[in-house]
Amino acid sequence: MIIGIPENSDFSIHNIPFGIFETSNKSPRAGVAIGEYIIDLAELSDYGVFDFETSVLKKETLNDFISLGKAITSKVRIDIQSWLQDTSSVLAKHSELFIRQSSAKMRIPIRIGDYTDFYSSEEHATNIGKMFRDPKNALLPNWKHIPVGYHGRASSIVVSGTPIHRPIGQTKPKEDQPPVYGPTKRLDFELEVGFITGKNTMLGQSVPIDLAEEYIFGLVLLNDWSARDIQKWEYVPLGPFLAKNFASHISPWIVTLEALNAFRIPGPDQTPDVLPYLKSIGEKNYDIQLEVSITPEGSEEENICHSNYKYMYWNMAQQLAHHTVNGCNINVGDLYGSGTISGKDESSYGSMLELTWMGTKPIQMKDRSTRTFIKDGDTVTMRGYGEKNGLRVGFGEVSAKVLASK
């Protein structure tokens, strides 16, 4: 290796994720993460090492680069892995191509045209069903037949580090009284993983499940915030609206699907059998460890959740196949959320709603304060990584501070 990489770095040579960064003297451009550094792809391209139109590396989003296709984007990643191990390579000769991550500002890596959020963790859906419906029939009749989802708001998706204000809306604290207007009192996070599409389709075209991964460029961590009290009042009959559209955060580095191959595992048994267009063959789930922490303002970080992406009942291929089976067209840069990821034990629940069981089991912070939902001044941080046989591929983090309502 021509540079040192800290032990347990998310950004090992096995990863090489793509993102958009800027510095005080560099405009927004494409880069890849390696250890504590960013390799400036735009400047690297000036040395004539790439055989494609490199102007795409000097744009403010990765959409046009991704649109070149995996034959090109995967080769860029593989070439960089090779150059990092070659003491005579262009990277070895030009140290100025390495930018410290600490001196760069990360931008949202893609232009998101459309956003879909699924509801694909059986444990999460069961917990919600127990809280709000019949505990003996927690899952709705359609849940094990289709990957349930809804279309969300793309304009309010922002990159990690962007603070948000507590949302305002209508709530109905008491059933026998009119609704009231004001800030949410039940602000919550939702631990999710999002995938990003890398190919377009035409209206009327569907993506067969056995080809779905060809249309998926990579993954990010996703915090799909939720205002639970606003949601409870508004969600019948058409689902969440103001409770969800105020903000969602994604991590800045897109980890390619290829970088995660070592962490593929079989998914859960799906009973009853799914319809043929949803039948998934091979290892389509991923063993990605996930965690969530809360840092109260002026205090220490407290880890409150350890979960795993492997718990998904519906995998990405099934989600995309179902999303397009009716001919819905997709575009490069579209974002698809997994839905809240919860595991089988209480410490692996992916939201405050579940962790505190609707506020009845407060969580204690290191400063001895307690949380049932997120307070003003709190910073919520999510991290994720795969680790196996000495190989580690991580996402870094998605983090955001909650400010008081405007």
Residues involved in catalysis: 124
Residues 6+ apart with CB under 8 A from 261: none
Cα 102 to Cα 22, 98, 200, 242, 390: the distances in Å are: 11, 12, 35, 35, 26
Residue 323: alpha-carbon gap to chain centroid: 18
Give 312's strand partners.
121
Residue 299: alpha-carbon gap to chain centroid: 26
CA 278-281-284 angle, to 5 degrees, is 90
Cα 212 to Cα 163, 174, 333, 403: the distances in Å are: 34, 46, 15, 39
DSSP string covering 304-350, please? EEEEEGGGBSS-HHHHHHHHHTT-----TT-EEE------SSGGG-S
- The one-letter amino acid code at 157 reads I
Residue for token pair 């059933």: 175
- HSE value, Cβ hemisphere, 13 Å, CA-based, for 183: 14
Burial of 339 (0-12, 13-18, 19+ CB in 10 A): buried
Tokens at 1, concatenated: 């290796």
DSSP tag of 111: -
Closest by CA position to 292, among listed 382, 362, 377: 382
